[in-house]
A = this chain, B = another copy of it.
């Protein structure tokens, strides 16, 4: 049964919401995702909104293009810092989400910064394949008409 769920999770790239079913498996996941003490200390500075989320901008390391904006909760930020690929929190699915797990288009993280107000995250990453589900390299592939 546990194996089935693990397999389903692996294929979908969607993990169960952290607040649900605190069973042994989840405990192990949590233990794997405690960062180094100096990282945990900085994590405490981050200010989440009333939904427990913070916007995260992802920028491609090589081309410097801004690729996307998604939302992180504390656990997805911790996993991003610990695992070296980006994790987000899907507001529509209410689930953690490891970008690339289904498409193979992972974002390999090289630097994570936070802004002056500690309420926005900037991830510099090497984008494999395309960031956008449309197949475009960046989600910002459409512009407003040129201004005069």
Would you give the shortest CB distance from A58 to chain B, in whole angstroms?
10
Q: How far is the CA of A42 from the CA of B142 in the complex (A)?
A: 10
- A105-147 vs B, CB cutoff 8 Å, 1 = contact: the mask equals 0000101111111001010000000001110100111111101
Number of interface residues of A (CB under 8 A): 38
Q: Is A13 an interface residue (CB 8 A)?
A: no
Contacts of A66 in B (CB 8 A): 57, 59, 66, 122
CB atoms of A115 and B68 under 8 A apart: yes
Q: Is A81 an interface residue (CB 8 A)?
A: yes
Contacts of A52 in B (CB 8 A): none
- A18-48 vs B, CB cutoff 8 Å, 1 = contact: the mask equals 0000000000000000001011001100000
Closest to A38 in B: B145
CB atoms of B69 and A115 under 8 A apart: yes
New A-B pairs, 18, CB < 8 Å, besides A57-B66, A68-B120, A120-B140: A36-B148, A38-B145, A39-B144, A39-B145, A42-B144, A55-B55, A57-B69, A69-B115, A81-B144, A84-B147, A109-B147, A111-B144, A113-B141, A113-B143, A114-B140, A114-B144, A116-B134, A116-B139
